[in-house]
Structure 1
Amino acid sequence: MRYGYAPAMLLGVNGAAIALTSAGATHGTGKVWLLALLAAAIAASFAAERLLPYAPDWNRSLGDAGRDTAHTLVNETLVLGSVAAIPALAAVVTIVDIWPHAWPIWAQVLAAVLAADAGITLVHYASHKIGVLWRFHAVHHSVKRFYGLNGLMKHPLHQTIEMTAGVTPLLLAGLPVDVASALALAVAVQLLLQHSNADYRIGPAKHVLALNEGHRFHHLKWAGVGDVNFGLFTLIWDHLLRTYSYDGARRFTSDDLGMAAKPHYPVRYLAQLAEPFKPTGACTTSPATGHSTGQPSTAG
């Protein structure tokens, strides 16, 4: 499990999605296959976390299980709705259909993953630098334990902004709905893996793939320390932005996670949806630095 779990998720689950897409499963009954694969991936994530936990105490709810389930259901519904709307959206926004339709489906999905990775990663980076974006992204950084459903714990407005940045360039190029369906599942699988409490290993690939060993550093709560490893699928952009960080000797506990500037961030689902619109959800400016003290990059 330590060495086979990540390949099983990345290649097995995503490979099944690509195989079903090739067989025309995106037509007719719709996305039932996508939901089934997502359910299987979530079940595998929970099983791996219990059989091979990085931190056993992270498998115990801190009163956040219901909240995280609500975030997952809402955000995945938004993703599936977006996939269903792609034919109509593509008809409106496609400028020139330059999509490589002749490529094998796996190559088209890989191209979509790499392109979406760039857009989503850059919005993620900007969300740590721009106050209005941080208001919504802060929901994701309020976590106090690291497990699979954390990846899908996002304010729906921020989820929409990230996905728009990742998918709009693809729509402009003529993204097919079957490739979009496989991409949607790949995003969900990646988020499960990236925030997993399973103590799996990927060897030297940890310096390239944006999985849990590296992403834990992104959730460190102190000023500037957590402004690293922004990538969704890969760490390519982090290497280019000089935001890559890794220390193999580092161990993490709940005391390392969250936001130092906002240790009492709301925990309940509806309160988290409302927080960005309140004065307490704002980022204040430090007179000494001109930086926003509510962000991880500047929070004391």
Structure 2
Amino acid sequence: MRTLVRYGYVPFMLLAVNGAGVAIAAAGASKLWLVGLVFLAIAVSFAAERVLPYRQEWNAARGDDRRDAVHAAVNESLTIASLAVVPVLTAITPFDGIWPGEWPFVVQVLAAILVADLGITLVHLASHKIPALWRLHAVHHSVKRAYGFNGLMKHPLHQTLETAVGFTPLILLGMPTSVAYAVALCAVVQLLLQHSNVDYRVGPLRLVLALNQAHRFHHLKWAGVGDVNFGLFTLLWDHLLGTYSYDPKRQFTSDDLGMAAKPNYPDAYLAQLAEPFRSSGACTSDDAKAPTEPAAPTSH
């Protein structure tokens, strides 16, 4: 079973779950099927973490399980709400007939993912450089364990910003709602995989896909050291931007995660929503300091 999870978990999520979602969206079937796939992906993620954990202790709740569930419910509800306005926005776009609707549906989805990934990567990068954006993004970096739900733990305003920047170019191009729903499902699956506490293997694909092996470097708690691997779906834009980093020998524990400058970041959901607007939510001079000894050798 452990071998099956190690090598089959990612293909199942990317090909079976995403593939089923693409087929459902292409057929115009009820969107409730997509909701069902989201719950299936979450269930598979949690099961795989129990069978083959990267860190056994990361499977134990630290009073954060209910909070993270609320984050996930709120943010996914916002995603569904935003998708509901896609047809309206597409209808008023000044550019008619640009979307390549004659392409195979799966190719349309893959193209949309690449475009959205660029926008999300740039917002993510900016959120580590611009203090006002970091205030919102810091919620996501306050985690002390890496497991599937971490990917859905974001301040709703930051989630909205990422979605807006990632999807706006696609809407201007006239992206059909069916493609948008498929991309949204793929994003949920990707976030689960990216933060998953599963010791899976993908071989050379780790250089291209933004999965947990590379993304753990992004959650290193020292500013500067953790300013790497910003992509959601792929690492292609990180390679081009020079922000890709990976060391196959690096091992991670909870001591490596979080924010060194803000070790006591609020834990409660409502407190996390309010923190970006408090004086304590600002960046400090300590945020820019790297550790005395490098926490993770990197290669670009």
Change (3 A) 1:7 1:24: same
Q: Per-residue displacement from partner, 1:137-176 (whole Å, max 9, x unpaired)?
A: 0000000000000000000000000010100000000010
- 2:12 and 2:105 map into 1 onto residues whose CA distance is 19
What percentage of residue pairs aligned between the two structures are identical?
66
Question: SS in structure 1 opposite 2:231?
Answer: coil
Q: TM-score, normalised by structure 1?
A: 0.93
1:76 equivalenced with 2:85 (yes/no): no
- 2:289 and 2:210 map into 1 onto residues whose CA distance is 24
* Structure 1, 263-272 or 96-105: larger mean CA deviation: 96-105
**Counterpart in the other structure of 2:105:** 105
- 1:95 and 1:38 map into 2 onto residues whose CA distance is 33
- 1:267 and 1:41 map into 2 onto residues whose CA distance is 26
Q: Per-residue displacement from partner, 1:230-275 (whole Å, max 9, x unpaired)?
A: 1100111111111111111111000000000000000000000000
- Residue type at the aligned position of 1:203: G
The equivalent position to 1:5 in structure 2, one of 9, 33, 42, is: 9
How many pairs align?
287
Q: CA RMSD in A?
A: 1.1
- 1:114 and 1:266 map into 2 onto residues whose CA distance is 34
* Structure 1, 93-102 or 159-168: larger mean CA deviation: 93-102
Gaps of 5+ in 1: 287-292
The equivalent position to 2:21 in structure 1, one of 17, 27, 31, is: 17
- 2:28 and 2:171 map into 1 onto residues whose CA distance is 20
Gaps of 5+ in 2: 292-300
- 2:270 and 2:124 map into 1 onto residues whose CA distance is 23
Which structure: greater helix fraction?
Answer: 2
Check whether the contact 2:99–2:174 (CA below 8 A) recurs between aligned residues: yes
Taking the TM superposition and a 5 Å limit, the aligned residue runs for 1:251-290 are 251-284=251-284, 286=285
Check whether the contact 2:90–2:172 (CA below 8 A) recurs between aligned residues: yes
Change (3 A) 1:61 1:84: same
Q: Per-residue displacement from partner, 1:114-142 (whole Å, max 9, x unpaired)?
A: 00000000100000000000000000000
Q: Per-residue displacement from partner, 1:168-215 (whole Å, max 9, x unpaired)?
A: 000000010000000000000000000000111000110110000000
**Counterpart in the other structure of 1:244:** 244
Q: Per-residue displacement from partner, 1:42-69 (whole Å, max 9, x unpaired)?
A: 0000000000100000000010000000
Q: Which runs of 4+ in 1 moved over 6 A?
A: none
- Residue type at the aligned position of 2:193: L
Change (3 A) 1:128 1:199: same
Q: TM-score, normalised by structure 2?
A: 0.93
- 1:62 and 1:93 map into 2 onto residues whose CA distance is 46
